[in-house]
Structure formats: C-alpha cells, structure tokens
C-alpha cells in the first residue's frame, strides 16, 4: 500500500461554519477509496489549534465513522508537518473549511507557501468568490445578471433607533424593498442572513450581519425559483445539470440547509434553453472569478423572467443532503470518482503553477 496517494483532509476551522465542515469531512472520509488513498485527517478547533485527528483516523480504520468528525488530537504544526509529508512523497490537501479563515484565500495562501497541491480554487479565486461584494463587482463587469443591492461598512451604521438609522433603513427599503435580505459579505451556509420588511427589522438585520463581517450586503428579495449547478474543472470546466431548492422555511436558511428542511429536486422541470443559459453563465462566472477545481453556482430564476446569479461557493458542502455531490452523482459520477477527479485537478493546477513560478 506504499504507493497510495496521501490525502490530508483538513476540517473544522474557526468560522461559524465549523460544524458543517466536520460533517462534510466525515462523508468525504467515508467515500475515499482506501486502496488508492492514505487519508490523514487534520482538524482545526474553534480556537485555531491544529491537531492530528486521531479519533477520526481510528474511526475510519474501524469503519465506524461518527456523524461528524472530532477535530481534536495531538498538536499538528502545519508548515513543518506538510513539508515533512512532501519530502516523503506526493501529498494532496483537501481543505473542507467553509467560511472565513478557510474558504477565503487565507488557508490557500498557507498551502501555497507550504508548496503542496490542494483541492479547489487558489488564493485569488477563493477570496473573490467568498467576498460577495467583490464578486458582484467582477460579475457585473462580465455582464452577469444580479440582484439589485447596496453595501455598507459596519463602522458607518448609525445607532439603532436613532433618526439616522431610521433614515438609512427607510432609504434602503425605498431603493430595494419592500422586502430585502441582509447578509455578511464574507460568510456562507446562510449564517448571519436576515429577511427584513420594515425599518425595525432592517435595523436588527444590519446589526446581526455586522456581528459576522465588517462589510454588509443588502439585496432586493427575489420571487422565483432557486437553482444550483455544480462546476468541476480548471480552465475547461464541466457543468452539471441543474438542481432546485424548494425551501421548507421562509427562505433557505441554515436549518433548512442542514436539518433536512428543504426539498432538493434533481432534474427540475426547466426549459432546455434555460438550462443551457444557466450552464453557460455558471461556467462564465467560474472563470471570471478565477475558480479552479470545484464550485457550486447558485441562481434565482425570477418570476419576472430574470436569470440572477446569487453566489459562487468554492468549497461546497459534502454532507448527505448537499447539492454538489448529489448533482454529480445524478450525472453519473460516483462520490469516490468525484474525489479522484478533484485530486487529479489539484495536481494538474499545482504542476502548471509551479511551472510558471519556478525558475
């Protein structure tokens, strides 16, 4: 078994999406072909401590994985440990860290410094896609349809209940309303997102978003269908068929995503020309944001006929109810086959990048 590819599965993290990451990692470990890969699970706890996740490794060996992996274990210092691994042979890192300090280019920068190939987008692509406001600027330049929106910095929020707060929220509702969604610019899994219908709920929504990020996005509410597509590849990406989210709550919030409240419909009833438009736009957005490896691209098909790109997620969930692996499975690509393809893409991108940066 010495010729197995070593795969470091990195999970947990310091963001509010820590728990989702631990569940995603569990299902990746369960799907990995043990004859092809030597899996090294590495956890990061909520305080940022890196550990060799020995309990996860033992559970994998015993074929008795828990519902979510435990990130604790002996201290694991990333740079020397990764360099030690690469000195002994080929290794690929699979960062399954959702949200800030994992999906936003910071972890990708560390892996670049360590000189190891890793699955997913690089520093720039990760940072652009994670920051909803920066992504909107890039996508607007490429003529990709988006919801009407405004942005605010948390430092510029007036005191709740003040005349200035009343004036600001009234202006936002007049511009974007009567219903708006408020989001932290850098966060996923619908964490920190609120729906607002008047000045009081909007002030509360702004305050909630400001607890997660300095920059806040306020968007018009879109009435329509929520459609997601999976993208796989580097410079020549493949795009899956569509899946539809049918929320069980007022909107597709955190509990709806991970407590199995929403219905996920594969092969939804859509006009074939619309499907082609969605696939073409997904690939265009993927390349515009410098994504690589994988991404899930989320759209609204509005009741008024608009096709609106909602966001691009560069480390999509890998839980049992996550749309990304389900879409590829529906297209005929098994979960183990998907991991094989992601590893191949990571090695391909690493080789190309080393060729361009090494003299």
Considering only CA atoms, which of 2, 21, 356 is closest in space to residue 188? Answer: 21
pLDDT confidence bin for 258, thresholds 50/70/90: very low
CA 316/CA 268 separation, integer angstroms: 20
Q: Which fold does the domain 149-220 belong to in CATH?
A: Dna Ligase; domain 1 (3.30.1490)
- Taking residues 62-80, report their average pLDDT: 96
> Is 5-118 a domain of CATH 3.40.190.10?
no
Residue 314 tokens, joined: 């560069």
- Taking residues 237-246, report their average pLDDT: 96
CA 215/CA 206 separation, integer angstroms: 10
Half-sphere exposure in the Cβ direction for 297 (13 Å, CA): 34
- pLDDT at 315 > cutoff 50: yes
Q: Which residue has the higher pLDDT, 327 or 161?
A: 327
pLDDT of residue 356: 67
pLDDT in tens, 126-170: 999 999 999 999 999 999 999 999 999 999 999 988 999 999 999
Q: Which residue has the higher pLDDT, 190 or 118?
A: 118
CA 308/CA 345 separation, integer angstroms: 29
% residues pLDDT > 70 (the chain)? 94
Considering only CA atoms, which of 223, 217, 134 is closest in space to residue 172? Answer: 217
- pLDDT at 65 > cutoff 80: yes
Q: Would you put residue 189 in left (φ > 0), alpha (ψ -120 to 50) or beta?
A: left
pLDDT confidence bin for 255, thresholds 50/70/90: low
pLDDT of residue 1: 45
Contact 184, 151 (CB under 8 A): no
* Helical spans, DSSP H, in 131-271: 132-141, 163-176, 199-210, 254-258
> Is 129-145+223-335 a domain of CATH 3.30.470.20?
yes
% residues pLDDT > 90 (the chain)? 84
Domain residue ranges of the chain, discontinuous segments joined by +: 5-118, 129-145+223-335, 149-220
């Amino acid at each position: 078994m010495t010729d197995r590819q070593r795969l470091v599965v990195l999970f947990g993290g310091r963001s509010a999406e820590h728990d989702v990451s631990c569940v995603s990692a569990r299902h990746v470990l369960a799907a990995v072909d043990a004859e092809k890969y030597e899996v090294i699970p590495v956890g990061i706890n909520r305080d940022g401590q890196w550990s060799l996740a020995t309990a996860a490794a033992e559970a994998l060996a015993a074929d008795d994985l828990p519902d979510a992996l435990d990130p604790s274990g002996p201290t694991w210092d990333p740079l020397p440990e990764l360099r030690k691994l690469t000195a002994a042979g080929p290794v690929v890192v699979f960062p399954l860290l959702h949200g800030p300090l994992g999906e936003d280019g910071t972890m990708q920068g560390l892996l670049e410094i360590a000189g190891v190939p890793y699955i997913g987008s690089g520093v720039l692509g990760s940072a652009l896609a994670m920051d909803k406001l920066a992504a909107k600027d890039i996508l607007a330049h490429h003529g990709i349809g988006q919801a009407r929106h405004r942005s605010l910095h948390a430092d510029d929020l007036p005191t709740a209940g003040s005349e200035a707060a009343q004036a600001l929220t009234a202006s936002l509702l007049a511009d974007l309303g009567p219903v708006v969604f408020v989001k932290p610019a850098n966060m996923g899994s619908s964490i920190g997102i609120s729906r607002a219908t008047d000045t009081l709920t909007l002030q509360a929504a702004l305050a909630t978003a400001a607890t997660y990020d300095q920059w806040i996005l306020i968007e018009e509410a879109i009435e329509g269908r929520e459609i997601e597509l999976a993208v796989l590849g580097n410079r020549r990406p493949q795009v899956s068929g569509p899946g539809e989210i049918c929320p069980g709550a007022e909107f597709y919030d955190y509990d709806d995503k991970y407590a199995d409240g929403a219905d996920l419909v594969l092969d939804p009833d859509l006009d074939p020309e619309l499907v082609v438009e969605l696939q073409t736009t997904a690939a265009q957005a993927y390349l515009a944001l410098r994504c690589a490896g994988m991404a899930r691209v989320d759209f609204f098909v509005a009741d008024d006929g608009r096709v609106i790109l909602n966001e691009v997620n560069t480390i999509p969930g890998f839980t049992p109810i996550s749309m990304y692996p389900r879409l590829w499975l529906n297209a005929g690509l098994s979960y183990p086959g998907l991991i094989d393809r992601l590893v191949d893409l990571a090695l391909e991108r690493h080789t190309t990048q080393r060729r361009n940066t090494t003299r």
